[in-house]
């Protein structure tokens, strides 16, 4: 592909995807399902994905702990099980990221629409009230997104550590190699603990955000 063609292709794809999303939102509004409703659903879906990821990373940690603490195991089986946990953890992390991106997409569309509608008001008092509500909602949304992204970022150190262990074990399936991994346990346990804490904080903020939206 020629150097100048790649940016053009990416730009074209973005336009197509944006157009598809706009058509989707338009179709949903015709059946009474507005962007704010979609936003609420997608925030809830992030919380669900975060809960699943939290459980999956905890499961992966338990598998790693059993691998290095229980003696007389079939190391091939243990390696395969740890690798499965890693792959499932990676999939769970990708699901969280995809759902956060979906929240961002509909939120941008919602706030753009809200901004455009402010220009249509003829009553200055109502316009001011709507503008203030939009500013408050956007502020809370920004805080929520920061929380989601922080929790998302906490997954990467754990995934990296799990991948390192899996790659190392793949070519070192012996008791001595298992012993050498014990030094990593404390670090992984700490990373998982921080991840779970951030996930729970993000889930709580999502619940508060949805509750406030439903009051409006």
Degrees, nearest 5: CA angle 140-141-142: 90
φ, ψ for residue 122 (rounded to 5)? -110, -20
Q: In this predicted model, what pLDDT tens digit does every residue of 34-91 receive, in sequence order?
A: 889 999 999 999 999 999 999 999 999 999 998 887 776 778 888 899 999 999 999 9
Q: In this predicted model, what pLDDT tens digit does every residue of 15-43 receive, in sequence order?
A: 444 556 778 887 777 877 788 999 999 99
Gyration radius of the chain over CA positions: 23
Question: Quick check: helix, strand or coil at residue 112?
Answer: helix
Q: In this predicted model, what pLDDT tens digit does every residue of 89-138 receive, in sequence order?
A: 999 999 999 999 999 999 999 999 999 999 999 999 999 999 999 999 99
Tell me which H or E stretch contains 44. helix 35-69
Q: In this predicted model, what pLDDT tens digit does every residue of 162-213 receive, in sequence order?
A: 999 999 888 887 878 788 888 888 999 999 999 999 999 999 999 999 998 8
- Which residue shows structure tokens 């729970």? 200
């Amino acid at each position: 592909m020629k150097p100048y063609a790649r940016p053009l292709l990416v730009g074209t794809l973005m336009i197509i995807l944006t157009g598809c999303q706009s058509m989707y939102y338009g179709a949903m509004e015709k059946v009474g399902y507005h962007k704010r409703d979609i936003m609420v659903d997608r925030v809830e879906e992030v919380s669900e994905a975060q809960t699943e990821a939290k459980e999956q990373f905890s499961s992966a940690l338990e598998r790693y702990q059993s691998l290095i603490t229980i003696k007389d195991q079939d190391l091939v089986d243990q390696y395969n099980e740890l690798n499965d946990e890693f792959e499932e953890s990676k999939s769970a992390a990708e699901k969280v990221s995809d759902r956060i991106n979906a929240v961002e997409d509909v939120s941008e569309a919602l706030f753009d629409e809200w901004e455009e509608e402010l220009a249509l008001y003829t009553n200055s008092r109502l316009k001011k009230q709507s503008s203030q509500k939009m500013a408050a909602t956007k502020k809370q949304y920004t805080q929520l997104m920061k929380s989601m992204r922080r929790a998302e970022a906490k997954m990467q150190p754990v995934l990296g550590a799990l991948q390192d262990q899996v790659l190392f074990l793949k070519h070192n399936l012996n008791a001595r190699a298992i012993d050498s991994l014990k030094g990593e346990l404390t670090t992984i346990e700490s990373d998982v603990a921080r991840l779970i804490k951030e996930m729970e904080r993000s889930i709580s903020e999502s619940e508060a955000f949805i509750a406030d939206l439903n009051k409006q």
